[in-house]
Structure formats: structure tokens, C-alpha cells
């Protein structure tokens, strides 16, 4: 088994009959929780329906995918009482510590070994709020905060319970850092009040439990961060990301962020890959690397990184980025 295969198998019990991308999804099953998928269309985007079969009825979601990403076109939770089936029958993944450690051994010192708290089956994300948005829809969940806050808290608790089960199995796993959070918790999407009332209380418990298991957490908030910098830091993660600049749709002033929270938490991100991994001269990429370092690198506690995922890049510019980053020291 290759190191990549070992890492893909790091969550026990994925369903071998389910045709999904195991690089991103590990779906587990039981006699009371089966997942069946059917391809509806292949063009222009692959479209699949996933049925979640339980003794008390089925749930379903529809995903579309292209070569870069996947997105939900029909959410799993359609009626509020659907969460009762999830609470009673959803499976709970566990970390295969031996598989993670062997993959980490194979990878060696080439970089950080990074994982994430599992999202919901088939399609979800690490944070409780972000996971709920994937299942119910972001706009509907925001409205439910005002119309039925107790129901929202019940849903978040169900999702939190599943994540805690996984986190407790992480003891001894040689991850360098594990991702939590999600962009729907950013202030590009929700208000600071919603963050503090419905995001932080649930995700902070996960962070505390991860620390009990000997793991480090990076809290991922791609989008607006400046109004809640201190609120995220107060959850006590070991690092925060992505510090997306305004030129990419975020709101982060990296120097100000460093001044406000740089002594409390490691900062990861800040690099504008949209403008400096394509369509510019290597000198411009190098200058941007240097600007990021000058803004946030003083006294350490800064890991230069692109602001979230990227799909297009010029190899020459990635080389310039890496080479200039090596030259930055404090």
C-alpha cells in the first residue's frame, strides 16, 4: 500500500461500494445507515444523487462536480425532523492511527502532515456550522437562526457529537495540524453575533477536545475575518487561516491582523495566489512574498501560504514564490 493509500484509509470503515472520490470523501456504513449513489447526468457537469437509507426512511442529496470541485444542488435536510434520522442512525468515523503514522513516516520532513475533522457523509466540511450549511443550505440556516434557534442548536449538537467521536480517536496520530472551520463561518457570510452564538460555542469544544487528544488545530475562515479576529483567537486554536486579502474577496489587512492577534496564534495564509501565481512576472511574485513577510513575519508565528485552494498556476511563479519564501528570515 502506498503512503497516499494509507492516508486515504485513515478513517476506518469507508464504504467500498460507494463510487466517490476517496481523496476527499471517506464514507462509512452500517446495517442501519447505507449510502447508495446513482449518476443522473455526465454533462455539462457530473450530477449524482446519494440516498441515505435508514430503518425509518431515506434521505437524499444531489451533488454536481467538475474537474475542480463539487457543490450541492439538493440539500440532504428538507424537513426539520430529518435530523432525527441523522441523530439516530448516522455512523461515526474513527481515525486509523497506525495508517496515519505510517503515512507520516513515509512523508518524512518534506512538509507538514495535515488532516481535517471529518465533514458529513459524502459532502460536508470540518466545522459544525459549515457542515450544517452543507446539509441544509446557508441562506436557510441563517434564517433558521432567527426563526427556530433551538432547532439550529440541536442540529449543530448532532454534528458536533459525531466529530467529537472522531477527535477522541486521534490520540497518538502524528498529524502536525488538523483543520477545523469553514468559509460559511466568515463575516463575508454571517454576522459576528451569529459567529459568537452559533459557531464558536460548538467549534471551541472540538478544539478543546483535540488538545486533550494531543492534536493542534488550525481554524479555517476563507473570507471576511477582521471583525472576528479576536473571537476566533479566543477559541484557542493553534493557528488561523486563510487571511484572504481584499483583492481576492476577503477583507484582511495582514499587518493589522499580526498586530492584533500575532502574539496569540500562528497566522497561516495571506498570499494572493489569484494575482501572483498567474499572469505576472516572477519579480512581482517575489515582491508580494516579501510584502507578506514584512507584514506578518516579524518574530515568527507566520506560515506563508496561498489564501485557500487554487487551480491554476504558472510553474515558474510557484518556484519564485518558494525561493523567495526561503530567503525570508527573522
Summarize the confidence of residues 50-79 as an average pLDDT: 95
Share of the chain above pLDDT 90, in %: 85
44 φ/ψ sector (left φ>0, alpha ψ -120 to 50, else beta): alpha
Q: Quick one: pLDDT band at residue 329, thresholds 50, 70, 90?
A: confident
Grid coordinates of 320: 519564485
Summarize the confidence of residues 259-270 as an average pLDDT: 96
pLDDT digits (tens, 9 = 90+) for 204-223: 999 999 999 999 999 999 99
Contacts of 263 (CB under 8 A, 6+ apart): 301
Cell 496569540 locates to 264
Query: Phi, psi at residue 208, to the nearest 5°?
Result: -60, -40
| CA angle, 235 then 127 then 37, to 5° | 170
Whole-prediction pTM:
0.90
Cell 454534528 locates to 159
Summarize the confidence of residues 252-267 as an average pLDDT: 96
Summarize the confidence of residues 257-283 as an average pLDDT: 96
* CA nearest to 221, candidates 203, 206, 209: 203
Catalogue all structural domains in the chain, each as residue range(s) with its CATH number: 3-16+78-241 (3.20.20.210)
Q: Quick one: pLDDT band at residue 27, thresholds 50, 70, 90?
A: low
Amino acid at each position: 500500500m502506498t503512503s497516499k493509500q494509507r492516508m486515504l484509509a485513515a478513517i476506518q470503515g469507508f464504504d467500498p461500494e460507494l463510487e466517490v472520490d476517496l481523496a476527499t470523501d471517506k464514507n462509512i456504513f452500517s446495517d442501519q445507515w447505507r449510502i447508495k449513489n446513482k449518476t443522473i447526468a455526465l454533462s455539462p457537469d457530473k450530477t449524482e444523487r446519494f440516498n441515505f437509507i435508514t430503518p425509518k426512511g431515506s434521505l437524499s442529496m444531489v451533488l454536481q462536480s467538475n474537474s475542480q470541485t463539487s457543490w450541492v444542488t439538493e440539500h440532504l435536510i428538507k424537513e426539520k425532523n430529518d435530523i432525527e434520522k441523522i441523530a439516530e442512525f448516522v455512523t461515526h468515523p474513527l481515525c486509523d492511527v497506525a495508517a496515519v503514522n505510517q503515512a507520516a513516516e513515509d512523508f518524512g520532513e518534506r512538509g507538514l502532515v495535515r488532516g481535517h475533522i471529518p465533514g458529513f457523509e459524502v459532502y460536508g466540511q470540518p466545522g459544525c456550522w459549515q457542515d450544517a450549511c452543507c446539509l441544509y443550505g446557508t441562506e436557510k440556516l441563517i434564517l433558521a437562526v432567527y426563526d427556530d434557534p433551538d432547532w439550529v442548536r440541536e442540529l449543530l449538537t448532532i454534528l458536533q457529537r459525531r466529530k467529537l467521536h472522531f477527535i477522541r480517536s486521534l490520540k497518538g496520530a502524528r498529524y502536525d495540524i488538523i483543520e477545523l472551520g469553514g468559509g460559511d463561518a466568515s463575516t463575508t457570510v454571517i454576522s459576528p453575533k451569529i459567529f459568537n452564538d452559533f459557531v464558536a460555542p460548538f467549534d471551541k469544544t472540538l478544539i478543546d477536545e483535540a488538545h486533550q487528544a494531543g492534536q493542534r488545530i488550525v481554524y479555517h475562515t476563507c473570507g471576511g475575518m477582521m471583525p472576528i479576529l479576536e473571537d476566533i483567537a479566543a477559541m484557542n486554536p493553534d493557528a488561523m487561516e486563510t487571511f484572504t486579502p481584499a483583492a481576492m474577496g476577503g477583507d484582511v489587512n495582514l499587518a493589522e491582523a499580526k498586530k492584533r492577534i500575532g502574539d496569540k496564534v500562528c497566522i497561516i495564509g495571506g498570499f494572493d495566489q489569484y494575482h501572483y501565481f498567474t499572469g505576472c512576472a516572477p519579480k512581482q511574485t517575489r515582491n508580494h512574498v516579501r510584502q507578506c513577510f514584512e507584514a506578518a513575519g516579524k518574530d515568527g508565528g507566520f506560515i506563508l501560504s496561498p489564501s485557500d485552494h487554487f487551480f491554476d498556476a504558472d510553474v515558474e511563479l510557484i518556484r519564485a514564490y518558494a525561493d523567495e519564501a526561503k530567503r525570508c528570515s527573522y
